[in-house]
Amino acid sequence: MSKPTILTGIRANNDLHIGNYFGAMLPLIDMAKHHSDEYDVNLFIPDLHSFTTPIDHSQLFASIMNNARVYTAAGLPLDNDSINLYRQSYIPAHSELTILLNNFTGFGEMSRMTQFKDKSGKLGDGQISVGLFDYPVLMAADILLYNATYVPVGDDQTQHLEITRDIAERMNSKFGELFTIPEPVAKQHEFFGKDQGLRIKDLVDPSKKMSKSDDTGRGVIFLGDDPEAARKKIMSATTDDKASVAYDKEHQPGISNLIDILALLRGVSPQAVAAEYQGMERYGEFKSIVADSVAEFLTDFQSRLATVDDAAILAKLERSERAVSEIANATLLRVQKAVGLRAQ
């Protein structure tokens, strides 16, 4: 890879939902297509990150492959050699570089990570793993192995990007120019745009974002949902007692969330949807419109997913894994020599 690198990924465990699809996956694919002439784009499946919180291990391998299938059904071009699609665990350098970087990362630095505090606070003591604590170092290895300059990050990942930069600068200061330091968060937002897509909220509790880790699934529209089941979820969505369809996230978060969903499905702005249905007093009527659109989207998407060529996907994965392994192994060897594990 002679071009600079953009790197990003979406975790493989659990079924993806429409928030993942419209808020992350489609923008990533559009970004990859747009930048592949000037950049090598690494869209990786971070399957090692799947272990940081409790999962059903019997479903992980199927989830990994489904992740790749969904990318393909969403429009990822498999014939573009500047766009790499690969599985993190198939590149052993990710794990080995993490072990090395751990020894140049402070316990205090990891303890201050907001995501660790938030996620560990939701788990019992027996469920908080060292892997969850060490997640940012593995993410640093993911980035630094490929000399990635740009890494699109949401607000919940900005700390992890900054600790990646800190680790790289620390190593470079001690051992020479080992790593390309990714651009800071402000430059990342300047390059990709601050808003990487609307955050769809939970249908039952619109104060929180839709999450694929939701235990009940009642407030989440999964890509694998039966269209009729999804329709019922929309019809049961929490709204309010104002009896007026309006885009007001503070005072009418539930109805505003449904407006966001319809806007994404139609490819228009929420303001345009709100203007179209301004003054509609019967929420059931508006919910039915949104429910029909969601069911139609799922029917179409699932039809495309069913026609995806698994052999072509596997060939793309293996081709990309061979290509990125060369870069990752070269970076790892450079670090191994610097720290004294290999002869200079």
Catalytic entry in 3, 212, 249, 337: 212
Residue 37 in tokens: 């002439």
As a whole number of angstroms, the distance between CA 142 and CA 44 comes to 9
Active site residue 316: no
5 forms beta bridges with 40, 148
Q: 36: which residues sit within 8 A by CB, 6+ positions away?
A: 80, 82, 83
Q: Please tell me which residue in 3, 33, 209, 337 is annotated as part of the active site.
A: 209
- Tell me which of 119, 201, 233, 287 is the catalytic residue: 119
CA distances from 109 to 112, 116, 135, 150, 219 (A): 5, 11, 12, 23, 35
Q: Map tokens 């500047």 to a residue.
A: 82
3 is catalytic: no
- What is the rounded distance in angstroms from the CA atom of residue 238 to the CA atom of residue 230? 14
Could you confirm whether 232 is annotated as catalytic?
A: no
Q: Active-site residues: which are they?
A: 119, 209, 212
